[in-house]
Structure 1
Amino acid sequence: MTGAAIAIIAAIFLWWFSTGVILLAVRRADQSGRHLQTVVAGLPLLVVGLWAVGVSLMRADVAGVYLGFLGALAIWGWIELAFLAGVVAGPMRDDCPPGLSGKPRFFRAFATVAHHELLLTLGLLGLVLVSGGAENQMALATYLILYLARIFAKLNLFFGVPRINLEFVPRRLSHLKSYFRRGPVTFAFPLAITALTALLAICTERLWFAGSDVTIVGYGLLTTLAALALLEHWLMVIPLPDAKLWRWMLPQQHPLPKTMPKEER
């Protein structure tokens, strides 16, 4: 099996597996009420990610490429765990008032995820700083693709898409559902599709003309990640049962009470 094929399979598996593990951890936290403890227990993931990124910067070989990729995924994964557990989200924890629109709705929606956006941006800036001048910038490239895809996804959920999967929205973020808009696509969708398609085309072109094992593996991972990001956006329009990829591995979610105590939000 070629290096590119291994990289593609590895990226797909890590995307699926890491998503499932985070969803499982958050689902169990919802059931036990131990959200902060779950995030704290996940700190070794962040530490390992930081270590892997640090080591990768000094290695311009295939192992260094994988370390950078895995390190960025680990850092991103811990931040996502903190967000989905409701520990790092935003100051606004209430539902969107009926009829709210325009700038007030946008700023209120942003307040629901402001802390998460800040942490993601700090992570990106940190990687930019430590990667400056490094021969291996795989961690930065990986994180940047994830960052762009997440920004586009949030914008589309806010402005409106035909298909929104609410099944995996955690208990402490249930108020976010009121800020999503299910309806025809807006300017945000073609903007995201165009940008992600261009990114995928660039990565694919670099992979096609890669001349060493290092670049083949690196662009194999990045091309797959860009393709998955693009696919996730198309799934906001195309009615495919993507939730089945993870539903089988999660415990059944208990129904939410009609009103949630303020301290649990």
Structure 2
Amino acid sequence: MFETAWIAALVALFAWWFSTGAILLLVRRSDISAPDAHGRSVVLTVPFLALGVAALVVSAEAHTVANVYLSFAAVLLIWGWIELAFLAGVVTGPERRPCPPGLSSGTRFLRAWTTVSHHELALLIGFFAVVIVTVPAENTIALWSYGLLLAARISAKLNLFFGVPHINTEFVPRPLAHLKSYFRTGPITAAFPIGVVALCLTTAWFGAQLAAATSPAETVGFALLTALAGLAALEHWLMVIPLPDAKLWSWMMPAPTTHHEGTDP
């Protein structure tokens, strides 16, 4: 059953929804807990990072259906931990102040970079680790998955910086509240068509490889990648189409509360 393309695509869709929701839930609970809750959540989830690394190494050995699913899960665990560390404010950047008004475009970009530079470097380190493990191996689904997530994330951040009509800030956690001042709500720029066209073409290419797959492992792998690329493209379109996408996870989130006394506003 798990060797069919439709099941693999549904697995990718559920994994994207569940992993995103789990991270947002953990971040929201830390937001309404003790001041050190964010850092504690990052430390306590290190075993998931270790599990992802171990799964990455094991799954690269052979290109089987089980290993394709395992490598995809490994990437989500590694990527998810880095994202949690970012949203928790542990791995962000040296600049943690809101963006002052009136900055030139170049100065604003450099300042925005310093707010997320450590996170970007962490993502690159993760990518190089995946490359080292998978390039000489038979199963490279993890490499394609991580590379796709990285490219889509860079494009999304650039679009938020340069400007898009619709920006959802509902789930921006307290440690990253200053990032909202670097977002720009307005007409799209050249960054949007470049990013969304690239992702749509990538989705189509993976879909073509899926249609030409000759083994169950190839079918599952390219189905996972097609679904993941399609979701990345959809997330870009939601920057211009005002749909209530936050409702996908808001129903499972605890209600926000006022800040604890003694914490930053």
Checking the alignment, whether the CA contact within 8 Å between 2:86 and 2:119 is kept in structure 1 is yes
Shift of 1:59: 2.0
Counterparts of 1:121 and 1:10, CA distance in 2: 26
Counterpart residue type for residue 9 of structure 1: L
Shift of 1:255: 4.2
Describe how 1:237-256 pairs up with structure 2 within 5 A. Answer: 237-255=240-258
Tell me which residue corresponds to 2:31.
30
| TM-score (ref. length: structure 1) | 0.96
Residue 206 of structure 2 is aligned to residue 196 of structure 1: no
Counterparts of 2:258 and 2:99, CA distance in 1: 21
Structure 1 260/166 Cα, relative in aligned 2: closer, same or farther at 3 Å?
farther
Structure 1 260/210 Cα, relative in aligned 2: closer, same or farther at 3 Å?
farther
Where does the alignment leave 5 or more consecutive residues of structure 1 unmatched? none
Checking the alignment, whether the CA contact within 8 Å between 2:56 and 2:133 is kept in structure 1 is no
Shift of 1:252: 0.6
Counterparts of 2:234 and 2:259, CA distance in 1: 30
Counterparts of 2:124 and 2:131, CA distance in 1: 10
Residue 154 of structure 2 is aligned to residue 138 of structure 1: no
Counterparts of 1:153 and 1:74, CA distance in 2: 21
Where does the alignment leave 5 or more consecutive residues of structure 2 unmatched? none
Counterparts of 2:103 and 2:258, CA distance in 1: 27
Q: Deviations over 1:22-43 (max 9, x none)?
A: 0000011111121110000111
Candidates 211, 227, 231, aligned match of 1:208: 211
| Count of aligned positions | 262
Describe how 1:1-265 pairs up with structure 2 within 5 A. Answer: 3-32=4-33, 33=35, 34-255=37-258, 264=264
Question: CA-atom RMSD, angstroms?
Answer: 1.5
Shift of 1:125: 1.0
Shift of 1:100: 1.5
Shift of 1:197: 1.1
Counterpart residue type for residue 17 of structure 2: W
Shift of 1:101: 2.8
Counterparts of 1:47 and 1:85, CA distance in 2: 19
Counterparts of 1:255 and 1:197, CA distance in 2: 41
SS in 2 for 1:81: helix
Counterparts of 2:210 and 2:154, CA distance in 1: 25
Shift of 1:211: 1.2
Query: Matched residues, percent identical?
Result: 56
